[in-house]
Chains A and B, each alone.
Chain A
Amino acid sequence: MRPLLFTDARLVDPERGEERRGQLLVRGGLIAEPGPADDAVRFDCGGLCLAPGIVDLGVKVSEPGERHKESFRSAGRAAAAGGVTTMVTRPDTLPAIDTPEVLEFVTRRARDEAAVRVAPMAALTRGRQGREMTEIAFLRDAGAVAFTDADAVVTDPKVFVRCLTYARALGALVVGHAQDPGLSAGASATSGKFAALRGLAAVSPMAERIGLERDLALVEMAAARYHADQVTTAAALPALERAKAAGLDVTAGVSIHHLTLNEFDVGGYRTFFKVKPPLRSEDDRQAVVEAVASGLIDVISSMHTPQDEESKRLPYDEAASGAVALQTLLPAAMRLHHAGDLDLPTLWRAMSLNPARRLGLPGGRLAPGTPADLVLFDPDAPFVLDRFTLLSKSKNTPFDGARMQGRVMSTWVGGERVFGGTGSGDALAPG
């Protein structure tokens, strides 16, 4: 493979926290030191942004079990079209990814079908039931990058602290879902005026703080490595801040939906806006945006959750939770950029650098020697999203019909173009 030289790029470098005009040389699938490159294929970026590919922590690919909702092939194509070069997949499948055998199936499917890298997470407890721990060492050896029961909270603290302790000895990262399951049982909205007016079963934002405080106390007991999948409320932030100040090995994420939407977007019971945890108040949204800006919240992810039409065409309380977002993560993130809330290096710190670091993956940076996983995008290009153009098998996006800005032009994984260029469909923004 000949070297590849990107010219006239607006480089987004999260590691150095800067944007700069320049060139980027790729050699052997890796980013290379700048130098003479007479033999290189030149790629003129035309002044558009070139950034590390997104490392998306928390993607649900519905294999095994519900391939009609999403397969590794469809998710991989959606990821490539969305500038996501690594999908960190969730184990909340049917069955759960809780044995080395199931994990082996997943890694084989991912290798054969997915256009981008896949770094699988495995279940923390068997069947995500919160009773017996999984074979964490075997699973780690089979390629699991972290351990989580996804949105199933391990309710018994004794079980959870043992999992944390066992994982700690192996250096494994545990990803928790900070939520008090008693308070949040049955809820489909955040309690407040809007939920009360709509008559929806609601959960107090305090349930997140209680869940996080409990998890952090147990993490302190076990001295474990812990990542909270989604911190979405102002009330939970002080606990996170205290834990970090105390030196616990703790990080936190938030979904793009909680950064760009609020509870009022549900409007007249629009079930595509039903996510887990439910959308929050505008005050909470602003607080978590600020927490991403300050670095208190480390990671932004899509929380990509495919659901078929039938499971969403139900009364709100009965409808399934979750939204697809692999392809809308970047344009939605551009809303935060254009609003002046987060600059591009800060966004990429949260979408690429931090998740890669936390999981021990080599990508997410523009440093020489790291994989040439790159996304070229136009941060300003406007379009109106039509959900039926999405490449995911499931089309459950809350951004259907939304005006968005920020279009992915091309995506490279290990120096190979996986999206964009001649012949490949530009699904998001025709014209």
Chain B
Amino acid sequence: MTFRASHLLGIEHLAPDEITAVLDLADTYVALNRSDAKHSDALAGLTQINMFFESSTRTQASFELAGKRLGADVMSMQMQASSIRKGETLIDTALTLNAMRPDLLVVRHPHSGAVDLLAQKVNCAVLNAGDGRHEHPTQALLDALTIRRAKGRLHRLTVAICGDIAHSRVARSNILLLGKMEARIRLVGPPTLMPAGIADWGVEVTDDMAKGLAGADVVMMLRLQRERMDGAFIPSEREYYHRFGLDARKLAHAAPDAIVMHPGPMNRGVEIDGTLADDINRSVIQEQVEMGVAVRMAAMDLLARNLQAARAA
């Protein structure tokens, strides 16, 4: 058993062999999901609660489906609409749900560190489904699985992550994971969307797509939030697309077999050309969604095993 963690709060806390363990198990769940049955009982009898304090469609659906395919009792709660409105604190909400004896708690929250805080207060396994600008570990794991299946490995690949790095938890988790797996990372984007101190991260940074994409094996595009496009961080949508939007011309700088990724939801014509996003020879965006379910099944399965082992001890 190489997966030792009791929560999945971030990639920061995972060792490379734990990451590999998740990906290996996820591979078997990809096969299961492609079979007719699509069902296992790894989580049978366990209760999974999804608490989303921030709106989400795909991540929540993916976690819900992952739990159901493994036989868990799954409940999804839209926390914006619930007791938070009545002034209840995060910790009280967590304690209330904890009293219902869940085994797996999937949490998304708009504030960095909120999921860590919550994990200290409950006695079940907590999965971070995205906290503020901090981490989104299952996204990084599903990206890694997608890359590994397309390229056969993670180490010694050149991965270009492009766009709004500063505000992206997806970028943080991916930088951490790919760094641990010994990939070469390039960050490409306007300097206003780069976090301070980025030079210390052991990554290459550029604001030139041609340089950033040169010879890259993987091109990972990030979503640009609408509220960043109003002149505060970049002058306009069209200037951004001209300089940083991925199209066939810019992609030509990458390796001939480079894959194109995007965590979704996409802004077609802002950060990525619509035709390119749909090009099944280059884009693995749909596959990322598929891998998402498998990776979440694997992560919850492994956490549940550790939880049950800890309870038995």
A283 interfacial contact with B, CB 8 Å:
no
Q: Are B201 and A317 within 8 A (Cβ)?
A: no
A197's nearest neighbour on chain B, judged by CB, is B172
Contact call B112/A269, Cβ cutoff below 8 A: yes
Q: What per-residue 1/0 map shows which CB atoms of B89-111 lie under 8 Å from chain A?
A: 11100000000000000000101
Residue on B nearest A204 in the bound complex, by CB: B196
A269 CA to B111 CA in the complex, in Å?
Answer: 11
Inside 8 A of B114's CB, which chain A residues have their CB?
Answer: 315
Let me know if B18 is at the binding interface, CB within 8 A: no
Q: Would A193 and B111 count as touching, CB distance under 8 A?
A: no
Q: Report Cα–Cα, A379/B167, bound state, in Å.
A: 47
| A interface size (C-beta, 8 A) | 21
Residues of B within 8 A of A204 (CB): 196
Q: How far is the CA of A195 from the CA of B198 in the complex (A)?
A: 11
* Nearest-Cβ distance from residue B251 to partner chain A, whole angstroms: 28
Please tell me if the beta carbons of B200 and A193 are within 8 angstroms of each other in the complex: yes
Residues in B with CB closer than 8 Å to A316 are 111-113
Q: Does A318 contact B (CB under 8 A)?
A: yes
Please give the distance in Å from B120's CB to the nearest CB on chain A.
9
Chain B residues within 8 Å of A313, by CB? 89, 91, 117
Nearest-CB residue, chain A, relative to B109: A315
How distant is B189 from chain A, measured CB to nearest CB, in Å? 14
Specify which chain A residues have a CB less than 8 angstroms from the CB of B172 in the assembled complex: 196-197, 199
Q: CB-CB contacts of B105-130 with A at 8 A, as 1s and 0s?
A: 00001011110110000000000000
Residues of the A chain whose Cβ atoms lie less than 8 Å from the Cβ of B89: 310, 313-314
One of B75-83, B132-140, B242-250, B272-280 contacting the partner: B132-140
Chain A residue with the shortest CB-CB distance to B115: A315
Q: Give chain B nearest CB distance to A314 CB in angstroms.
A: 7
Contact A191–B197 (Cβ < 8 Å)? yes
Interface mask (B161-203 → A, CB under 8 Å = 1, otherwise 0): 0000010010010000000000000000000000111101100
Q: Does A431 contact B (CB under 8 A)?
A: no
Does A192 make an interface contact (CB < 8 A)? yes
Interface string of A194-234 (1 = CB under 8 A from B): 11111110101000000000000000000000000000000
Per-position contact with B for A117-148: 1 when CB-CB < 8 Å, else 0? 00000000000000000000000000000000
| 21 cross-chain CB contacts under 8 A | A191-B196, A191-B197, A192-B196, A192-B197, A192-B200, A193-B197, A195-B197, A198-B134, A199-B112, A199-B132, A199-B169, A200-B112, A269-B116, A310-B89, A315-B90, A315-B111, A315-B114, A315-B117, A316-B113, A317-B112, A317-B132
B132 — which chain A residues lie within 8 A by C-beta? 199, 315, 317
Q: How far, in whole Å, are A195 and B113 apart by their CA atoms in the complex? A: 12
When chains A and B are docked, how far (Å) is the Cα of A11 from the Cα of B135? 54
**Interface footprint category on B:** 20 to 34
Please tell me if the beta carbons of B90 and A196 are within 8 angstroms of each other in the complex. Answer: no
Is B271 in the interface zone, CB < 8 Å from A?
no
Contacts of A318 in B (CB 8 A): 111
Q: Does B217 contact A (CB under 8 A)?
A: no
Give the 9 A-B CB pairs with smallest separation, nearest first.
A199-B134, A269-B113, A199-B133, A315-B111, A196-B195, A199-B112, A191-B196, A193-B197, A315-B114
Closest Cβ of chain B to A374, distance in Å, is 43
Please tell me if B143 contacts chain A, counting CB pairs below 8 Å.
no
Residues in B with CB closer than 8 Å to A197 are 12, 172
**A340 CB–B CB distance under 8 Å:** no
Say whether A195 contacts B196, CB under 8 Å. yes
A200 to B12, CA, bound (A): 15
A313 to B166, CA, bound (A): 26
Q: How far is the CB of B126 from chain A (nearest CB, A)?
A: 13
Interface: B64 (CB within 8 A): no
Tell whether B131 is near chain A: CB-to-CB under 8 Å. yes
Interfacial residues, chain B to chain A (CB-CB below 8 A): 12, 89-91, 109, 111-114, 116-117, 131-135, 166, 169, 172, 195-198, 200-201
Output the residue of A191, A194, A197, A316 with the most chain B CB within 10 A: A197
Does A268 sit within 8 A of B, measured CB to CB?
yes
User: B112 contacts A314, CB within 8 Å?
Assistant: no
Complex: A317 Cα to B116 Cα, angstroms: 13
Are the CB atoms of A196 and B197 closer together than 8 Å? yes
Measured between beta carbons, the chain B residues less than 8 angstroms from A314 are 89-90, 117
Interface pair A202/B196, CB less than 8 Å apart? yes
Tell which of B12, B112, B195 touches A315, judged by Cβ atoms closer than 8 Å.
B112
Chain B's nearest CB lies how many Å from the CB of A329? 28
- Residue of B with least CB distance to A189: B112
- Inside 8 A of B113's CB, which chain A residues have their CB? 198-200, 268-269, 315-317
Whole-angstrom CA separation of A193 from B12 in the bound complex: 14
Q: Is the CB of B135 within 8 A of A199?
A: yes
Residue on B with the closest CB to A202?
Answer: B196
Closest partner residue, chain A, to B114 (CB atom):
A315
Are A268 and B169 closer than 8 Å at their CB atoms? no
Chain A residues, Cβ within 8 Å of B131 = 199
- Bound together, the chains give a CA A314 to CA B92 distance in angstroms of 11
CA distance A199 to B168 in the complex (A): 9
Chain A residues near B135 (CB-CB < 8 A):
199
Which residues A316-369 have CB closer than 8 A to chain B?
A: 316-318
- Shortest distance in angstroms between B29's beta carbon and chain A's nearest beta carbon? 29
The 8 Å CB contact of A269, one of B117, B166, B197, B198, is B117
Complex Cα spacing A397 to B310, Å: 33
Q: Which residues of A contact B166 (CB under 8 A)?
A: 196
State the CA gap A195–B135 with chains docked (Å).
13
The CA of A57 and the CA of B133, in the complex, are separated in Å by: 37
Q: Report the separation of the CA atoms of residues A366 and B196 in the bound assembly, to the nearest whole angstrom.
A: 48
